[in-house]
Amino acid sequence: MTARNASSDLEVWIDQDLCTGDGICAQYAPEVFELDIDGLAYVKPPAAYGREAELLTAPGATAPVPLPLLRDVIESAKDCPGECIHVRRAADKAEVYGPDAVADPADVS
């Protein structure tokens, strides 16, 4: 599985109202996060056919979490100074990593 393959189980989104523009997320997982011209971080979907993916700038936009980058995305959520990165199950929208996590991350399969 390559970094472009996404887990259908988890998705990530950023609350730009809380984003500090620190860029830690983009350092951990540049395939998933990127700072835009406004200085805030946004998610982007997996790149298609070798092309760069466009940022998803709509409020609450989500992107699938590439399985090989799951650990990096989780670390981004843990280390984010703005506590604005949310990782949730796609099926039921329950947050499993981030400031509103409802489950023990060790229980996530």
Which of 34, 15, 10 has its CA nearest to residue 24? 34
Structure confidence at residue 50 (pLDDT): 61
Q: Is residue 68 part of a domain?
A: yes
- 103 within some domain: yes
Number of domains in the chain: 1
For the cut 70, the answer to whether the pLDDT of residue 57 exceeds it is yes
Average confidence score pLDDT of the chain = 86
Q: Domain for residue 55, yes or no? A: yes
15, 4 Cβ separation under 8 angstroms: no
How many C-beta neighbours within 10 Å does residue 19 have?
22
Specify the pLDDT at position 106.
Answer: 52
pLDDT tier, 81 (very low <50, low <70, confident <90, very high otherwise): very high
Band (8; pLDDT cuts 50, 70, 90)? low
Residue 58 in domain: yes
| Higher per-residue pLDDT: 78 or 48 | 78
Whether residue 93 is contained in a domain is answered as: yes
Task: CATH number of the domain at 20, please.
Answer: 3.30.70.20
Within a domain: 1: no
Q: Which domain holds residue 82?
A: 6-107
Neighbours of 102 (CB within 10 A): 11
Whether 43 and 12 have beta carbons less than 8 Å apart is answered as yes
